[in-house]
Structure 1
Amino acid sequence: MICYMLRLGTFGFGGPVALVGYMRRDLVEQRNWILPADYKEGLALAQLAPGPLAAQLAIYMGYVHYRILGATLAGVAFVIPSFLMVAALGWAYVRFGGLPWMQAVFYGVGAAVIGIIVISAQKLTLKSVGKDKLLWAIYLLLALVTVATESEVAWLFIGAGVAVWLLRAPPKWLGNLPAAALAQLPLASGWFGALDVSLLAQIGIFFIKAGAFVFGSGLAIVPFLYGGVVTEHHWLSDKQFIDAVAVAMITPGPVVITVGFIGYLIAGLPGATIAALGTFIPCYLFTVIPAPYFKKYGKLPGVTAFVNGITAAAIGAISGSVIVIAKRSISDLPTAMIALLSILLLRKFKKLPEPLLVVMAALAGLALYPLLH
């Protein structure tokens, strides 16, 4: 499992949509290391809790058989390769005054990533939603909301789970959901703002908030990061932030690892380390603490219905995010052709390695971008 997570963190391109698809394909379908029910529980828990989706699912996959030790090692193995890559790119960015070639690479890679996540989202939908009409209704609602708002609305995930629970396995008595307490979590993030602390402490506090109070995937955390590092603290310029997001997209592993690049630009390697730890430690805790209860009570009819509802909502939001990301990555006919060709190649050649596709797209971007811009 640890070797697999190291490899996924090193070669897993495509962001959270693709990464959760890879884990299902590799761990559930091909290797049979994880039961489908355990995968579904992990995906639901990862979507329900705040923090980066793919990293939380990787942590839960490690927890399934090896508990705390497995969760810890799986999480570190999944994150460390991409962290080292973005830290190295941060050093190059600072040392050489920017990465002008990155626009050309991202021009091709961004389009190819759309093809990768389209295929991954399709597989997740067919496997987890199937022909269930209620789950399809939830799936389509969340997809539409994600496209319309370009964000992931956390309370809708919980609402979807509650709706399926009440319709499919209604309890004999209804307790009050702790919605009021959950609603106060984002407000709690404001407590830290008034503290006068050193730069590294400010970085740590901000990125702990990013990991603890933002639901969903890299799609959800990027606007939060922009508001903090550009608008509020003025640590980065608009161009530097866009370059940071581009770095996250052209490197493997979780998209949220862009926090390492951002932290490096702010305060060098210490800043990168503090930013990464601040983001990932909350998501680790939000996974391993409730995990035993998911394992113990996950087979109860009410819990199963609740998990099915959240899973359908999560996959709907993931599928909707494909359209949101595509609007930013497909800007002209060549990028549209790269995305379409990527989809066709992945459908035709089931075992085509995604890293090879990304490399080909990067070369295409380097060739085409100077001619078109």
Structure 2
Amino acid sequence: MLAAAAELWGLHGLDWDDLLKLTLHFALLSMLAVGGAITTAPDMQRYLVHEQLWLSDAQFTASVAIAQAAPGPNILFVALLGLNVAGAAGLVAAMAGILLPSSLVAWGVGRLGRRRSESIALRAFTAGLTPLTLGLLLSTGWVLTAPTREHAGTWVLIAATVAAMAWTKLSPLWLIAAGAVAGMFGLVG
């Protein structure tokens, strides 16, 4: 019976214990996802690619890139990672893990925050999350550029993007378009 259920859900050779491990790991990451689930991509990559060997580096990067290019919520990459790891069951496991814990905490903290919005401790906590979020986003960028870091054009594009974001009011969409054109012409790895 379990074998039939595994075939129906398309587990890709994983068993139910593996799905539970996937759910629990993503649940832990959910609690660290300050700034969004994308900030935990480096640990997702470590776990899925290097520790569990469920995905290759190229599959991981492609999953994130495809999901980020698609219209819809930013968290779609988690669904695609789960789908690539274990089919529909992996999709459900990854999304349940990443969404449920942080959603429950956000709901509880939101209720508390409305009652104590003037608290110095609450304001200090909120201000302290800014550097944490920036660090997580930088580490995500580092992991996602891994396949193209050897190419000098990648570094030029990164430097130009950082400079444009720091010193101009240019929309990030123009920088994304520039990156797409650079990739299309082979200027970045």
TM range (shorter): 0.5 to 0.7
Q: CA deviation at 1:323?
A: 5.0
Distance in 1 between residues matched to 2:157 and 2:84, nearest whole Å: 31
Distance in structure 2 (CA, Å) of the matches to 1:345 and 1:232: 37
Equivalent positions of 1:1-373 (< 5 A) are 197=16, 200-201=19-20, 203-212=22-31, 214=32, 216-217=34-35, 218=37, 221-247=40-66, 250=69, 253-254=73-74, 257-299=76-118, 303-304=119-120, 306-321=121-136, 323-324=138-139, 327=142, 329=145, 331=149, 332-343=151-162, 345=164, 347-348=167-168, 350=169, 352-369=170-187
Q: CA deviation at 1:226?
A: 3.5
Distance 2:48 2:41 in 1: 10
Q: Which amino acid is the alignment partner of residue 355 of structure 1?
A: L
- The Cα shift of 1:288 comes to 0.7
Q: In 2 relative to 1, CA 364–317 (structure 1 residues): closer, same or farther, beyond 3 Å?
A: same
Name the CA shift for 1:267/1:324 in 2 (closer, same or farther; >3 Å): closer
Tell me if the contact between 2:30 and 2:98 (Cα under 8 Å) persists in the aligned partners: yes
Structure 1 unaligned residues grouped into runs of 5+: 1-195
Structure 2 residue runs of 5 or longer lacking an equivalent are: 1-14
Matched residue, 1:99: none
**Residue identity matched to 1:368:** G
Whether the 8 Å CA contact 2:82–2:94 is kept in 1: the answer is: yes
TM-score (norm 2): 0.64
| Cα shift at 1:344 | 5.3
Alpha-carbon distance in structure 2 between the residues aligned to 1:360 and 1:239: 22
User: In structure 2, do the counterparts of structure 1 residues 216 and 341 end up closer, same or farther at CA, with 3 Å as the change threshold?
Assistant: same
Alignment partners' CA distance in 2, 1:199 and 1:272: 13
Q: Answer 1 or 2: higher relative contact order, Cα 8 Å, separation at least 6.
A: 1
Letter in 2 for 1:354: P
Shift of 1:287: 0.4
Partner of 1:289: helix, strand, or coil? helix
TM-score (norm 1): 0.37
Rounded to whole Å, the distance in 1 between the matches of 2:175 and 2:45 is 30
CA positional deviation for 1:210: 3.3
How far apart are the structure 2 equivalents of 1:276 and 1:251? 17
Q: Tell me how far apart the structure 1 counterparts of residues 94 and 135 of structure 2 sit (CA, whole Å).
A: 28
Give the whole-Å Cα distance in 2 for the aligned partners of 1:232 and 1:343.
32
Distance, in Å, in 1 between the alignment partners of 2:54 and 2:142 is 27
Q: Which has the larger radius of gyration?
A: 1
Displacement of 1:284 in angstroms is 0.9
Aligned-residue RMSD, C-alpha: 3.6
d(CA) in 1 for partners of 2:51, 2:156: 39
Alpha-carbon shift at residue 208 of structure 1 (Å): 3.0
Q: What's the % identity of the aligned pairs?
A: 21
CA gap 1:319/1:359 in 2 versus in 1, 3 angstroms = same
| 3-state secondary structure, aligned to 2:94 | helix
Relative to structure 1, the CA distance from residue 309 to residue 259 in structure 2 (aligned partners, 3 Å threshold; closer, same or farther) is same
**Could you give the per-residue CA deviations for residues 88-117 of structure 1, whole angstroms, max 9, x where no partner exists?**
xxxxxxxxxxxxxxxxxxxxxxxxxxxxxx
Distance in 2 (alpha carbons) for counterparts of 1:229 and 1:317: 23
Secondary structure of 1:368's partner?
A: coil
Aligned residue-pair number: 168
Displacement over 6 Å in runs of 4+: none
